[in-house]
Amino acid sequence: MYTRCLLLLLLNTYAYVECNPTIGDVVVDRYSIPKLCPREVKSGDHVRYHYNVTLQDGKTFDSSHERGAASVGQTGQGRLIAGIDKGIQGMCVNERRKVTVPPHLAYGSLGAGDVVPPDTTLVFDLMLLDVWNLADLVVTQTLSTPQDCRRSVKRTDFVRYHFNGTLLDGTPFDSSYNKGQTHDSLVGEGWLVKGMDEALLGMCVGEARHVTIPPFLAYGQKGSGKEIPPHATLVFDVLLVDLHNPKDDITVDNQVVPVSCPRKSVAGDYMRYHYNGTFLNGLTFDTSYQRNNTYNTYIGMGYVIEGMDKGLQGVCIGERRRVILPPHMAYGEKGAGRDIPGSAVLVFDIHVVDFHNPKDTAEIQVTHKPEVCNVTSDVNDLIHYHYNCSLLDGTRLFSSSDDDNLQDTVLGADKVIDGLDESLRGMCVGERRTVIVPPHLGHGEKGATGVPGSAVLHFELELVDLQKGVPEGYLFVWVEDAPLELFQALDMNKNGEVPIEEFGEFIMLQVAEGKGRMKPGMEPKEIIADMFRNQDRNKDGVIVAEELKLKVEEDKEKLHEEL
């Protein structure tokens, strides 16, 4: 019949008459047909439709539009007037048709009160809004899937998803995108309509689905608010953003562990690490790399979110790992600021740069020691040494080879960081060491020029030269016992007084003969001048026997006076 109608339309002959198909005695004019018609009304289907009904003279006597509520009924069960039951068959959603119903298929010879006279032909202008059958199921169509899907939605999971929701005729009723936030819900626990509970099962994060839910698996005969009328089929375009289960623990994967791992982190350690923070859909919310600074924190002590506290324990220096945190071990239902929404699963790709414990000492490993070692370095010694300094990730910081000059220092004189000072003690000339210096023995939380705050430092050391020192407060010490008659030894010309020239000549002779040594790192003339000033108590330019006192004797006198 429709093929013939189309043919006659093309021929432009009796088009209007022949394109009004007759269903029994009912005449149908399909004057507006949608391009897409995935489903036509069949006997037994339920329908929701708008109508205007007129007499043949065009007088309207009823209209669902004017009442503001569509009509709902089931076809083929005698619940509609017979002419409409026939005239609505084969109709598509959003189709408009005029259905002319003869009296015997309308209200017959009795009419309908004062509204419809007896033996009246009625003309219905119909627009189909919805069609469903009690045998219908939730229909899901996968629009796109992610390449990697390690986990899919199961009952009792908690999901976050975006959606656009429309009625079957395309009328939008809600959208998470318009609200600027996902819809968050447990699955299979009655938080959602039954059809959506079913439609979400098996979805992967990043998957998109087109979902059609019949009314009895949606809001049924009551509808929901002003936007969703009773008996409405709901159509959703759903994008799954996030997925977890309230029983989830953290997940650790993508581990890259260095070959050498002498120690793993424990609670109470202080760690420096880089990270990229993303959601399950891959969207980045934060990264330390853009700030060009590591994130520094104590672990296992509540300074960071619970999941990260746990995920950073048991790692090696230099290790890379991915830690996935369920929201109850991250920022929970409230989220954090504008960047992390509530109930978000967080994914951290971590690179552990270094860690230490506040109780750590400098770790020393001797890599070479000469066979002959009669003298070792100690506090107050002047030493010359080569060094290379780097971070634990291999980043080179400083080296004595940079300017081809040896480094020198007096041990214990607070000239270098504490950890290096300690590590340079007890060394033989020619000895080589590698040393790990924790930040509290290095440059601390603030760092230094070229050294990040809280950085653990790696040193390669070689002692090149050693000049033994003198105790603090001393400028000269005797290697052997001092002469019993010191003034007589000083008074080389035996005139009873010692000027600075004679004093200096005597001191230099003792050093040359190995009987005494001066404080290293100071000019001999400066040392001799200071020593002479200390002994020339009346400041007359010469020292006499009554003025001369050894430093040891002076210290004993001071102690006696204090007591």
- For 252, residues 6+ apart whose C-beta sits below 8 A from its C-beta are 311, 321, 322, 323, 324
Strand partners, 462: 386, 432
Q: CA-CA-CA-CA torsion for 535, 536, 542, 543, nearest 10 degrees?
A: -40
Cα–Cα separations (whole angstroms), residue 479 to 40, 357, 510, 535: 114, 42, 9, 20
**288 membership: H or E segment, kind and range:** helix 288-291
What CA–CA distance (Å, rounded) separates 468 from 302?
Answer: 49
Dihedral sign, Cα of residue 285, residue 286, residue 289, residue 292: positive
DSSP assignment of 76-141 equals TTT-S-HHHHHHTTTPBTT-EEEEEE-GGGTTTTT-BTTTB-TT--EEEEEEEEEEE-TT---EEE
Cβ distance 91 to 22 under 8 Å? no
Which two tokens mark 64? 């669902």
Per-residue pLDDT at 302: 95
Convert 108-144 to b/e letters by CB count within 10 Å (16 or more is b): beeebeeebeeebbbbbbbbbbbbbbeebebebeeee
Pick from 531, 394, 526, 506: nearest CA to 458: 394
Cα 65 from chain centroid? 53
Pick from 505, 487, 507: nearest CA to 497: 487
- For 278, residues 6+ apart whose C-beta sits below 8 A from its C-beta are 284, 285, 346, 347, 349
Per-residue pLDDT at 125: 96
Which two tokens mark 475? 């400028």
Q: Mind spelling out the 3-state secondary structure of 438-479?
A: CHHHCCCCCCECCECCCCCEEEEEEEEEEECCCCCCCCEEEC
What CA–CA distance (Å, rounded) separates 529 from 300?
Answer: 59
**What one-character DSSP code corresponds to residue 246?**
T
Cβ distance 425 to 379 under 8 Å? yes
- Per-residue tens of pLDDT for the chain, all 563 residues: 333 333 222 223 223 333 456 667 899 999 999 999 999 999 999 999 999 999 888 888 899 999 999 999 999 998 899 999 999 999 999 999 999 999 999 999 998 888 899 999 999 999 999 999 999 999 999 999 999 898 999 999 999 999 999 999 999 999 999 999 999 999 999 999 999 999 999 999 999 999 999 999 999 999 999 999 999 999 999 999 999 999 999 999 988 999 999 999 999 999 999 999 999 999 999 999 999 999 999 999 999 999 999 999 999 999 999 999 999 999 999 999 999 999 999 999 999 999 999 999 999 999 999 999 999 999 999 999 999 999 998 999 999 988 778 899 999 989 999 999 999 999 999 999 999 999 999 999 999 999 999 999 999 999 999 999 988 888 999 888 888 888 999 999 999 999 999 999 999 999 999 899 998 888 999 999 999 999 999 999 999 988 888 776 666 666 666 65
Per-residue pLDDT at 402: 82
Cβ distance 278 to 196 under 8 Å? no
Backbone angles phi, psi at 217, to 5 degrees: -110, 10
